[in-house]
């Protein structure tokens, strides 16, 4: 009988699960559709709840080498007026930092570390998952190579970690169709520039119809003082007009969005200069998927974006994928490589992530920007006249609790996987 975990998709979720399987002494194999791992993407954030999991995987030093410990998170009107700033990571009282990192560098770090620990053969690239079956005590994964060759592999468990266009999920939910677009488009880039504010600040400027988000994702170069600054320009359109298929690597032109942000120039941030300085600009529609009733079919389950793709507004998509991998690992330790492990994992993670998907649609942490815009058009003498500080603090704390990274809850939670825990043979 097969005794290993098949992982369809070697993105952030799949690699974190593979590293977890290696840590708990379980055999596994990752099947990734791209022919060669490449450092794709721009900035992402890892909340302390995910950083602690990477620390528990022995990756603290490597993470520190890549990212920036995010110090605070601030909201500003389109006129650059200050609404609210809250400390982040250890500055907020967490035991672990929040990191802002380049997604491609995080991905390559996880990949290299996995290959170093478990050997190159544990990841097979160039194989696309096309479907699955449960057969007796086996999970069966169907694959296709880039040249059209079909192949079937068998394992004790199959995990669909194949992202927002998951083929595994599509088989479970044949009527679902493409992700849902809410009319917003995100233009993303990373530019070498001087860091602003504290040098490790994340800022959100404007409101949901016209918003600019920025934060550094590298430490400054000691010679030039320049850091890699991530930025996202966000505009709203009529969702009825439709959008091209979501592709994280679609390149775009500055003229598509820059004219709307020409006024976003303040003494601490020059949004047009940042956008013009990027080597490449990518566009991505704001899409998510409706939560589904079931992730687990016998010996097959979903994780990461395949399970719960949400709007990228709460800085927790990649972190949530990492947390999924750790909870699933703990369930393997507790229940073995059996359907009971997948059911226990789903019982814990599906309700929690469903709340995040739904909250991100209406009340992500930045929804305060819209409240301020509606109430005063972005201009005020004293923010207290527009929205009391206590209301701002309450909104921020509520979101963290829903997204599973409340300060006290994170600090008090025991390790997800106890040190030295192993899956019983
Ligand atoms: C190229 C790329 C760039 C990205 N850039 C950003 C970014 O700049 N900012 C941001 O916030 N998020 C970005 N994301 C998304 C972000 O990584 C995820 O939202 C989050 O990390 C959750 O990770 P995931 O592993 O579930 O999904 P992903 O990171 O999307 O990983 C899914 C993996 O599965 C592979 N795959 C897909 N279909 C199949 C299949 N049928 N069979 C086998 N393998 C398959 C994909 O190639 C990918 O490696 C990017 C994703 C990708 C793939």
Closest CA to 415 of 61, 49, 19, 12: 49
Long-range residue pairs from 411-415, CB within 8 A, at least 24 positions apart, any chain: 411/93, 411/94, 411/95, 415/56
The residue whose CA is least distant from atom 16 of ligand 1 is 318
Q: Which atom of ligand 1 is nearest to the CA of 16?
A: 25
Q: Is 372 helix (H, G, I), strand (E, B) or coil?
A: helix
Give, for all 425 residues of the chain, the pLDDT tens digit: 778 999 999 999 999 999 999 999 999 999 999 999 999 999 999 999 999 999 999 999 999 999 999 999 999 999 999 999 999 999 999 999 999 999 999 999 999 999 999 999 999 999 999 999 999 999 999 999 999 999 999 999 999 999 999 999 999 999 999 999 888 899 999 999 999 999 999 999 999 899 999 999 999 999 999 999 999 999 988 877 776 666 777 888 899 899 999 999 999 999 999 999 999 999 988 889 999 999 999 999 999 999 999 987 777 889 999 999 999 999 999 999 999 999 999 999 999 999 989 888 876 777 889 889 999 998 999 999 998 888 888 888 887 777 667 889 999 999 999 999 999 87
- Mutation pick for ligand 1 pocket among 162, 234, 251 (CB with most ligand atoms within 8 Å): 162
The residue whose CA is least distant from atom 1 of ligand 1 is 40
Rounded to whole angstroms, the Cα distance separating 217 from 90 reads 17
Distance 162 CA to ligand 1 centre (A): 7
Please indicate whether residue 368, judged by its CB atom, sits closer than 6 Å to ligand 1.
no
| CA max distance for the chain | 70
Helix ranges, 119-221 (H): 167-172
**Per-residue exposure over 42-63, b if at least 16 CB sit within 10 Å of its own CB, e if not:** bbbbbbbbbbbbbbbbebeebb
Note the pLDDT of residue 403.
67
Please indicate whether residue 312, judged by its CB atom, sits closer than 6 Å to ligand 1.
yes
DSSP string, 28-78: EEEEESSSS------EEEE-HHHHHHHHHTT-HHHHHHH-EE--EEEEE-T
Rounded to whole angstroms, the Cα distance separating 26 from 48 reads 26
- What DSSP designation does 355 have? H
Asked if 6 contacts 161 with a C-beta cutoff of 8 angstroms, the reply is no
Please indicate whether residue 324, judged by its CB atom, sits closer than 6 Å to ligand 1.
no
Only one residue has tokens 């298929």, namely 245
Note the pLDDT of residue 424.
81
- What DSSP designation does 278 have? -
The residue whose CA is least distant from atom 3 of ligand 1 is 41
């Amino acid at each position: 009988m097969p005794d290993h975990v098949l992982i369809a998709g070697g993105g952030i979720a799949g690699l974190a699960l593979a590293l977890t399987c290696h840590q708990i002494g379980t055999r596994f194999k990752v099947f990734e559709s791209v022919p060669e791992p490449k450092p794709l993407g721009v900035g992402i954030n890892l909340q302390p709840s995910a950083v602690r999991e990477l620390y528990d995987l022995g990756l603290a030093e490597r993470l520190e080498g890549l990212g920036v410990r995010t110090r605070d998170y601030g909201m500003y009107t389109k006129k650059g007026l200050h609404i609210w700033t809250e400390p982040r990571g250890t500055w907020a009282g967490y035991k672990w930092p929040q990191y802002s990192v380049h997604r491609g560098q995080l991905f390559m770090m996880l990949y290299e570390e996995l290959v170093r620990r478990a050997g190159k053969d544990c990841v097979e690239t160039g194989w696309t998952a096309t479907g699955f079956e449960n057969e007796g005590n086996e999970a069966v994964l169907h694959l296709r190579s880039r040249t059209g060759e079909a192949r079937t592999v068998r394992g004790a468990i199959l995990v669909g970690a194949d992202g927002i266009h998951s083929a595994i999920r599509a088989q479970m939910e044949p009527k679902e169709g493409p992700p849902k677009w809410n009319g917003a488009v995100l233009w993303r880039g990373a530019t070498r520039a001087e860091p602003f504010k504290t040098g490790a600040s994340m800022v959100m400027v404007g409101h949901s119809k016209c918003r600019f988000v920025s934060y550094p994702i590298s430490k400054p170069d000691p010679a030039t003082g320049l850091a890699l600054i991530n930025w996202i320009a966000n505009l709203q359109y009529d969702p009825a007009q439709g959008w091209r298929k979501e592709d994280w690597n679609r390149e775009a032109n500055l003229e598509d969005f820059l004219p709307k942000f020409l006024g976003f120039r303040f003494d601490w941030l020059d949004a047009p200069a940042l956008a013009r300085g990027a080597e490449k600009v990518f566009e991505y529609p704001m899409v998510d998927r409706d939560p589904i009733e079931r992730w687990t079919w016998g010996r097959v389950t979903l994780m990461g974006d395949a399970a719960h793709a949400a709007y990228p507004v709460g800085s927790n998509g990649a972190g949530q994928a990492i947390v999924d991998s750790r909870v699933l690992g703990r369930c393997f330790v507790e229940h073995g490589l059996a359907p009971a492990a997948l059911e226990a994992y789903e019982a814990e993670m599906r309700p929690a992530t469903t709340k995040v998907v739904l909250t991100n649609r209406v009340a992500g942490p930045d929804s305060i920007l819209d409240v301020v815009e509606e109430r005063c058009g972005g201009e005020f003498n004293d923010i207290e006249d527009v929205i009391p500080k206590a209301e701002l603090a309450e909104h921020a704390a509520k979101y963290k609790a829903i997204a599973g990274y409340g300060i006290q809850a994170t600090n008090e939670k025991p390790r997800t996987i106890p040190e030295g825990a192993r899956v019983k043979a």
